[in-house]
Amino acid sequence: MTELTVTAQPYPFVLDPATTALVIIDMQRDFVEPGGFGETLGNNVSLLQCVVPPLREVLDAARALGLTVIHTREGHVPDLSDCPPAKLQRGEPSLRIGDPGPKGRILVRGEYGHDIIDDLAPIAGELVIDKPGKGAFHGTTFGAELQSRGITRLIVTGVTTEVCVHTTVREANDRGYECLVLSDCTGSYFPEFQRVGLAMIAAQGGIFGWVAPSEALLAALTPQEVPS
Ligand code: C5J
């Protein structure tokens, strides 16, 4: 077992690459680009763009190390039978889930807007979990996939921090997974939610898990040169 130590809050996070997965939550055009679900709710989606470069760096490092990589996508089957009426009817969005938008039907599986942005597109061998809810466990095979791979620790990234990232981390924490959330690889439409959402994870001795910047993870993943 090769253990790597990441400097994190509230204290160092120790991981074994063989039992750790990089989880990338909902980096879909529907949330990150104009004309999708996020924008229909009145959000400024450009606020999520800063997540892409550091997350791409982490993804490259995880791939180089052979870490398990799991992507999730929030969305619904075309007849919306997996979308609770409460979710469909809530609020006054400019377009509702299932309505035609500039990137296809809003938050519907198989549509262009539902898919993951090009910069973070999954490659062969990476798992893609389609989820109808905010959390990655609800209504999916995520838990079974983690179990079958012997994964016990998750490095969690993606959007949005206070919604799908938080729901997934809370669900994972209750199931006994140790979660490290990367601060600059998660994003919110609300800067104050980003700050408080991350603080809530590491507070109280790590009530939901650990928080660290991507540079701390990259430093741990990259073999140190020993001076001769
Ligand atoms: C939201 C998500 N915000 N991926 N979904 O509705 O966080």
- Give me the chain's average pLDDT, please: 97
The protein residue whose alpha carbon is closest to atom 4 in ligand 1 is: 164
- 58-62, 114-118, 168-172, 223-227: lowest mean pLDDT where? 223-227
Residue 225 has pLDDT above 70, yes or no: no
Catalytic residue among 164, 179, 184, 185: 164
Residue 167 CA: nearest ligand 1 atom is 7
Burial of residue 94 (number of CB atoms within 10 Å: 0-12, 13-18, 19+): exposed
Q: Is pLDDT larger for residue 8 or for residue 227?
A: 8
% pLDDT > 70, the chain: 97
User: Does the active-site annotation cover 87?
Assistant: no
Residue 41 CA: nearest ligand 1 atom is 6
* Pocket-forming residues, ligand 1, beta carbon under 6 Å: 26, 31, 74, 134, 159-160, 163-164
pLDDT digits (tens, 9 = 90+) for 67-109: 999 999 999 999 999 999 999 999 999 999 999 999 999 999 9
User: Does the active-site annotation cover 131?
Assistant: yes
At 226 the pLDDT is 63
Domains in the chain, please, with CATH?
Answer: 4-77+89-221 (3.40.50.850)
Q: What is the mean pLDDT of residues 186-215?
A: 98
Catalytic residue among 26, 115, 130, 184: 26
In order of 8, 41, 140, 159, 199, the CA distances from 189 in angstroms are: 24, 11, 26, 9, 17
Name the token pair of 82: 């997996």
Calpha distance 78→97 (Å, rounded): 10
At 222 the pLDDT is 82
Residue 163 CA: nearest ligand 1 atom is 7
Residue 37 CA: nearest ligand 1 atom is 6
What's this model's pTM, rounded to 2 decimal places?
0.97
At 139 the pLDDT is 98
pLDDT band for position 224 (cuts 50, 70, 90):
low
pLDDT digits (tens, 9 = 90+) for 120-146: 999 999 999 999 999 999 999 999 999
Catalytic residue among 103, 115, 130, 131: 131
What count of other Cβ atoms lies within 10 Å of the Cβ of residue 15?
A: 23
User: Does the active-site annotation cover 134?
Assistant: no
The protein residue whose alpha carbon is closest to atom 5 in ligand 1 is: 164
Q: What is the mean pLDDT of residues 17-22?
A: 98
